[in-house]
Structure formats: structure tokens, C-alpha cells
Amino acid sequence: MSIVVKTLSEQAYEIIRERILANDMFPAKPIRQDALSQDLGVSKIPLREALTRLEQDGLLVSHPNRGFIVRPLSLAEAEDVFQLRTTLEPEAAAQGCKKATEEDKAKVTEIFKRLQSMANEITPEAVTVNREFHLALSAPAGRNITQELLFKVHLLSERYVRKHLEPPDREADAYREHEEIYAAWMNKEPKKVKKLLKEHTQSTLEDLRGELFE
């Protein structure tokens, strides 16, 4: 295994991102960059690079006179994000299962096993592995623009996925749904994959409608 050396900017990005996903940073409140810089032990340049990257991910918003703020959760955004996923992801994953090579299957299986090991966790890492699983299903389709859009949409949906999993027993339901999707995908059943993914995404949005208020 090779050693991966991360820059200060990358390390700051990962730490801040975890804090946002864990709701440890309050939405709509300006980020005090001086205090955050001291807290993380990095200078302002790598910190600003990290914040800019998080803005590109859709987790932060910058304002001329207020600096960076954490993007607040909203039902309107959840509707937009999950409707996009419903439109793009089921068809792409269905095509992906038809075109998947043995190498693609091995990758999906490896990610699914990691997701399986985190079935009872609600952590930023578990949410990230959830994203990796979903994106691995559509990657073999070879639809590069669709995959780029799905990557962006999944980044935006991560905090909502975490919010969705907060109530008791949601992790068990999500794992069961993922297990069904995984089995259909591995068996090259595109119609079933499409149906299950659409139901999975729509049920998540339905739950969020009951949790989020404008």
C-alpha cells in the first residue's frame, strides 16, 4: 500500500467537511476564519483553498461582506437534489449493470462490504461510502457527463442523507434497500435496478419532507 501525503489544504478540507456533515458548524452563521485557522493549525491560504473547495461542493456559500457561511438545509433544495437523482441515477445504474465488467463488479462488491460494515453508523465516513456505492453503480455506463452531474448532486445530498438516517431504525431500512439494489445490479437485472433505485430515492425524499421545514 502506498503512502498518500495530503496537503494542509486537503487536511483542512476533510476536517471542515466532516464538521459540516456532522452539523457541528451552524448554518447561516459567518465562519470566523481567524479562529478556524488557529483551531486547525493552518495558515489562511490553505484554509481559504479548503473553504473555496467546500463552496464548489455546495456545502458553503460566500457573500462579499460576510465571507463564508454553511449552506442551510432546506426542503426546496432537498426536493431539487433528490428529484435530479431520481431523473438521472436509476437509468444510469441500469445501464451500468448491463455493461459492468468483472472488475466493475469487484469494485462495487468491495464498496458494498464497507457500507455493510457501517450499517449501524451515522458518520461522515458512512455517508461518504454511501455516495461511493451509488456512484459505482452508474460508473460502468460510461456516461461521463451524467456521472459528473451525479457526483455533484450526491455531494449536495450528503447532509440530507445524514438527516434522513437520524431517526431510529432508518439505518436498517437503508441497508435492506441497498442490499436489494446490490443483488439486482450484480445479477444484471436493469429493470429491477431502475425500479429499486427510484423507490429508494423517492422514499428518502418522502421522509425528508416530514423532517424539514421552510
Question: How many Cβ atoms from other residues are within 10 Å of residue 45's Cβ?
Answer: 11
Per the domain annotation, does 3 fall within a domain? no
Task: Residue 52: give the domain boundaries.
Answer: 8-70
Per the domain annotation, does 65 fall within a domain? yes
Comparing 148 with 174, the larger pLDDT belongs to 148
CATH number at residue 116: 1.20.120.530
With a cut of 70, say whether residue 79 has pLDDT above it.
Answer: yes
Say if residues 155 and 131 touch (Cβ distance below 8 Å).
Answer: yes
CATH number at residue 31: 1.10.10.10
Per the domain annotation, does 17 fall within a domain? yes
Q: Check whether residue 80 and residue 66 sit in a common domain.
A: no
Of 56-70, 74-88, 99-113, 173-187, the one with minimum mean pLDDT is 56-70
CA 44 to chain CA centroid, nearest Å: 27
Three-state secondary structure readout of 18-50: HHHHCCCCCECCECCHHHHHHHHCCCHHHHHHH
Percentage of the chain lying above the pLDDT 70 cut:
96
Cell of 10: 486537503
| Residue located via cell numbers 431520481 | 86
Q: Check whether residue 200 and residue 117 sit in a common domain.
A: yes
Structural domain total, the chain: 2
Per the domain annotation, does 36 fall within a domain? yes
Per the domain annotation, does 2 fall within a domain? no
Domain boundary among 29, 55, 70: 70
Q: Check whether residue 175 and residue 85 sit in a common domain.
A: yes
Query: pLDDT (tens digit, 9 = 90+) per residue, 114-162?
Result: 998 887 767 778 888 999 999 999 999 999 999 999 999 998 888 888 8
Reported as half-sphere exposure (CB side, CA atoms, 13 A), residue 156 has a value of: 21
Q: Measured between alpha carbons, how far is 138 from 136 in angstroms, rounded to an integer?
A: 6
